[in-house]
Structure 1
Amino acid sequence: MSDIETVAEILSRSKRTAVLTGAGISAESGIPTFRGLGGLWNGRDPMSLATPEAFASDPATVWEFYRFRRDLVARSEPNPGHFALAELGRRYSSNFTLITQNVDRLHQRAGSVDVLELHGNLFDVRCTGCRQTFDRDGVELPPLPRCDDCGALLRPAVVWFGESLPQDVWQRAERAVEQADALLVVGTSALVYPAAGLVLTAAEHGCPVIEINLETTALSQFVDHALLGKSGEILPQLLASLPA
């Protein structure tokens, strides 16, 4: 039995399946990983701009960077890996939970529903005054966008370095992994916590963990099966090996 068939057998027996995705799955759509952006944006270190301190000191530059990212993602399309996960979600229905560290909404554009976005997304904005969140997908934002209700400065509704994850989303993700019979970990570097800790949570609960990545990661020692290669190739193969 091949590795794909072995994993397909695990998924076919699973009553509750959870998936955790990272930047690797979207890299196959032409979106560079966050750390891989490097000098793509005016030679600046992207991580130095993704902080509350950077926004407080120079909101115009931070917004310029995030408009660049919004435009980049808007020109990208979901790849076969995104579509395979969307189909997997349709098959499992309410017994399937898709958790992502990505902020690009490519899962939703591929057809996935009720995606748990641990780090927010690039197309929502949040008011720094009244704290309301607004969807601004497809809207061209001014250099310093402001809230229509209170006039305060808007910020990207993403989780920056030094900020906590949205607790309601995190609690749903933890609960889904604790109750899962299988966890797929796709395209994540396993460097960003607490998200990477979901793999350890699954392992502690005896849940089989399947890693799909181009290479091994810091968490590979805790997984039960590792499928090395492009998720855009492996996930469709996995889907095809499952009972219809």
Structure 2
Amino acid sequence: MDEKIVILSGAGLSASSGISTFRDENGLWERHNVKEICSVGCLDWNYEATVNFYNLRREDIKDKLPNNAHKMIAKLKDKYPQKVEVITQNIDDLLEKANCKDVLHLHGFLKELRCMKCEEIVDISYSLQNETNSTCKKCNSKMRPNIVFFGELAPKYETMHKILKDCGLLVVIGTSGRVIDVSFLTQYADYAILNNLEPSDAIYDECFTKVYYENADTAYEKIEQDIENFIKNRKL
């Protein structure tokens, strides 16, 4: 089986496009208590506030545009559809706006609602979740944002680990390593590249073949060349 190039991204991929990250000062997250709007059980006792928060986040991504790094990933996925796998922790749609195909969203997708009972998924695009779409048309139960909250199971992780079993090159872009231990994931790959704005105490540089500490919107050309070199020569 051909070795895969697996590109795993986090919030840093979308930061230069203006998407609010979890740790941004004055961002959407800064004005809310995560335990109240993004933790297991919050829909049971804080349903309206949770729905309203994700309505704000959906509105936040509506006019945002993909940056050079999104476009680079989409170009490589289009050029090598059987070799490149794209996995993201992000719930925004900037990879899709860059025309990237078959993106695996580990933590859900902001434009979707999911039934709390039958798991039916509905795409509402950038619409608000309100009384017109908060009841499941299949089973009449409540709908929720299709987001994995803190403390909930993340079923797509199993798919990620299956993909990584065939990984030759792992490319990690824009993640602190605090949600997913990306240093551990490098054991799947022969070569690994890390691109973050700055070092993280949750990531061990020595696990990576190359490290670029700079904005993904500027590092993208080097990463693209590394991937092309790997495909051509199977080395960095």
Q: Secondary structure at the match of 2:134?
A: coil
Cα distance change of structure 1 residues 16 and 130 upon mapping to structure 2, 3 Å threshold: closer
Q: For the residues of structure 1 that align with 2:77 and 2:13, how far apart are their CA atoms? A: 16
Which residue in 2 is equivalent to 1:160?
149
Letter of the structure 1 residue corresponding to residue 19 of structure 2: I
Q: Secondary structure at the match of 1:236?
A: helix
Instruction: Give 1:127 shift.
Output: 1.0
How far does the alpha carbon of each residue in 1:78-101 deviate from its partner, in whole angstroms, 9 at most, with x for none? 111100011111222111111100
How far does the alpha carbon of each residue in 1:49-83 deviate from its partner, in whole angstroms, 9 at most, with x for none? 10232211021111110100000011211111100
TM-score with structure 2 length normalisation?
0.86
Q: For the residues of structure 1 that align with 2:160 and 2:114, how far apart are their CA atoms? A: 22
Letter of the structure 1 residue corresponding to residue 220 of structure 2: L
Unaligned runs of 5+ in 2: none
Instruction: Give 1:117 shift.
Output: 0.8
Q: How many residues align?
A: 225
What's the C-alpha RMSD, in Å, of the aligned pairs? 2.3
Which residue in 1 is equivalent to 2:218?
233
State the identity as a percent.
Answer: 28
Report 1:124-135 matches (<5 A): 124-135=112-123
Letter of the structure 2 residue corresponding to residue 220 of structure 1: Y
Whose helix fraction is larger, Structure 1's or Structure 2's? 1
Cα distance change of structure 1 residues 41 and 17 upon mapping to structure 2, 3 Å threshold: closer
Unaligned runs of 5+ in 1: 1-13
Letter of the structure 1 residue corresponding to residue 185 of structure 2: T
TM-score with structure 1 length normalisation?
0.83
Q: For the residues of structure 2 that align with 1:35 and 1:47, how far apart are their CA atoms? A: 15
Cα distance change of structure 1 residues 198 and 39 upon mapping to structure 2, 3 Å threshold: closer
Instruction: Give 1:202 shift.
Output: 2.6
Q: Pick which of 214-223 and 79-88 moved more.
A: 214-223
Letter of the structure 2 residue corresponding to residue 140 of structure 1: L
Instruction: Give 1:180 shift.
Output: 1.1
Please tell me whether the aligned partners of residues 19 and 98 of structure 1 are also in contact (alpha carbons under 8 angstroms).
yes
Please tell me whether the aligned partners of residues 4 and 169 of structure 2 are also in contact (alpha carbons under 8 angstroms).
yes
Q: For the residues of structure 2 that align with 1:39 and 1:96, how far apart are their CA atoms? A: 32
